[in-house]
Chain A
Amino acid sequence: AQKITQTQPGMFVQEKEAVTLDCTYDTSDPSYGLFWYKQPSSGEMIFLIYQGSYDQQNATEGRYSLNFQKARKSANLVISASQLGDSAMYFCAMIIQGYSTLTFGKGTMLLVSP
């Protein structure tokens, strides 16, 4: 069975600074994908970034990048130049190839201060 661990219940960062949200995963399957979603207080889940287990390069999407360290089974989300609108809950999730269900971590609440 797969598992996602997010050890940071909450993180604080000042506006314009970079922040790293930790995510470690556990699976014995060699083919998998890792996702990060953002959930603001409104409740919607917003897809941010995806990394496949065989991708050679770390994924990047604008201010979001995924620091993928396969040997350490970690997939940390890096947000550069934080903005007030980045304050939200962030979930790391994993999918095993051939399956359709996501396994979510418990989430990290990020608060960006002025």
Chain B
Amino acid sequence: GAVVSQHPSWVICKSGTSVKIECRSLDFQATTMFWYRQFPKQSLMLMATSNEGSKATYEQGVEKDKFLINHASLTLSTLTVTSAHPEDSSFYICSAVNQPGETQYFGPGTRLLVL
């Protein structure tokens, strides 16, 4: 299967700081990338869909000014959690597809802890 990397794998930060998470497709071009959030013992919750070169589409209830998504190239998307607070602590995971409707391949995820 296709390989998607995510960096960092875990991060601890102070409340009020911003955190950037990178998602890279290593062996294919990802026209679309997805960002999910997952709380313990729960399913994945889609936060936003990003298409290369255009603005991300956010799901209802997700603050776009809080969670900045950039998809500047066909292999890289970034999620920046701005002014992070303890309630933003979660597991963030990205996925990527070459074409819409194809199998989504997921990165290994990033565990964020905001103190």
Contacts and interface: CB of A to CB of B under 8 A. Distances in A.
Interface of A: 33, 35, 37, 42-47, 50, 91, 95, 97-102, 104-107
A64 to B, nearest CB: 13
Interface string B81-93: 0000000000101
Given A91-B43, A101-B34, A104-B43, A43 B101 contact: no
Contacts of B101: 33, 95, 97-100
B49 A47 contact: no
A75 B89 CA distance: 33
Contacts of A97: 101
A8 to B, nearest CB: 14
A101 B46 contact: yes
Nearest to A95: B101
Contact of B103 (A44, A47, A91): A47
